[in-house]
Amino acid sequence: MRTRARIAVSLLALPAGLLFAEGVTRVFGLAPVPVPEVQGAVFGDSPEPRLGFENLPGGEQRIVYRDRHGAVAREVLSRVNRQGFRGAEVAEEKPPGVFRIVCLGDSHTFGYGVGEGESWPCVLESALRARPDGARFEVLNCAVNAYDAEQSLALLELRLLKFHPDLVLLGFFVNDTAIRGVQSPPEQEPPSWIMKLSDPHRKGFVRWLREHSRFVDLIADGAFNRDSLGFFSRSRSALFGEDYEGWIRVRAALVRARERLAAERIGFVVLLLPFLVEEEGHLGSTRAMGIVRAFCAQSSIPCLDLEPAFAGRDLGELRVHPRDFHAGPEAHRILGQAAAQELAPYLDAGRLETPEQDR
């Protein structure tokens, strides 16, 4: 009888524990953090085939981020001015005495998820304008959400040289060689079984269980978010394989930009923007950005790595939201100030075209 009793207790322990966990989850209102709500658009189709799409002059987009209880945590409004970039409009003909910087890139430069005046190009402009020498700076945030590096450099050639920049900064992220129409390289590793099992799009019994159990839904959501961030960061390295077409085309575009801008006596610097996820003791972008840095050194393209500015920081707190891995306002502040600090020696020396290559 005692053996049967122990077996019965053991068999009942698991469902009892699950019922208790389910009750606690419901009593305290615990649930996965809602997906951000996006209204409006800041980019649309472009008549230029090399671009595919571009910023919409006058476009607006509102993003609402909620906490796990459904309350609004942050609400962000993004605007594109009539000239097609984020921020204040400028005179197309550069005023005398103004040092004008054009910033290129994707959502990590545009500032997806951060408000007006919070993107790193805005922080950079404020930092440069605070220099004691009284120099006059204008920084144009001409990034476009979802652009790859080839599109960014095509935009420079087609739309932005008319603004007569003195310096062009390309904010480079780990997915900037993922060019549309180019087949992705084979995965170097398959998704983990946990990631497959907890995929929010998975159907069948798992879907049914998540729909009927808040506890299971909460656990599965956390597992998927954690594993998918790591998987994304590891899979980006394949985009920088020596023979991958996307990286070949981006390398060619970088060299063309360097030559074109040098001929017009315009400075050109690649800023390496970190992916704010820790992976095996380093950031998720470290390996890929090392490849970009080495290529830039070989090709005499100035390159500054902003990853060291994030050493020892809580990366989770710096992302815009649990459902959004973009840099938040504090991370953009760090990026902008780090860029200003890295560029300062070259601004002082008047040699922006030749920053050190070993940064």
What is the average pLDDT across 271-280? 90
Cβ proximity of 216 and 210 under 8 Å = yes
CA-based angle 128:133:136, to the nearest 5? 50
Lowest mean pLDDT among 17-26, 93-102, 302-311: 17-26
- In 3D space, the residue among 300, 307, 301 whose CA is nearest the CA of residue 284 turns out to be 307
**pLDDT reading at 188 higher than 70:** no
HEC profile for 60-72? EEEEEEECCCCCE
Rounded Cα–Cα distance for residues 36 and 214 (Å): 20
C-alpha dist (Å) from residue 334 to 281, 283, 330 = 21, 16, 6
List of residues 6+ apart from 198 with CB closer than 8 A: 206, 220, 221, 223, 224, 227
pLDDT of residue 155: 98
What is the average pLDDT across 65-88? 94
Q: How many CA atoms lie within 13 A of 23 on its CB side?
A: 6
pLDDT of residue 213: 77
What is the average pLDDT across 29-46? 90
Residue 354's pLDDT band (cuts 50, 70, 90): very low
Q: DSSP letter at 115? A: -
What tokens were used for 36? 């951000």
What tokens were used for 127? 């930092």
CATH 3.40.50.1110 fits 37-182+241-349, yes or no: yes
- In 3D space, the residue among 283, 280, 257 whose CA is nearest the CA of residue 270 turns out to be 257
pLDDT in tens, 131-149: 888 789 999 999 999 999 9
More confident residue, 65 or 33: 65
Strand partners, 139: 101
What is the average pLDDT across 173-182? 93
Lowest mean pLDDT among 122-131, 223-232, 249-258: 223-232
- pTM of the complete model beyond 0.75: yes
What tokens were used for 161? 């040289």
Cβ proximity of 73 and 66 under 8 Å = yes
C-alpha dist (Å) from residue 8 to 3, 18, 21, 22, 230 = 9, 16, 20, 21, 41
What is the average pLDDT across 180-188? 79
182 phi and psi angles, rounded to 5 deg: -100, 125
**pLDDT reading at 332 higher than 90:** yes
Rounded Cα–Cα distance for residues 253 and 264 (Å): 17
Residue 153's pLDDT band (cuts 50, 70, 90): very high
Helix (H) / strand (E) element for 49: namely none
Cβ proximity of 120 and 335 under 8 Å = yes
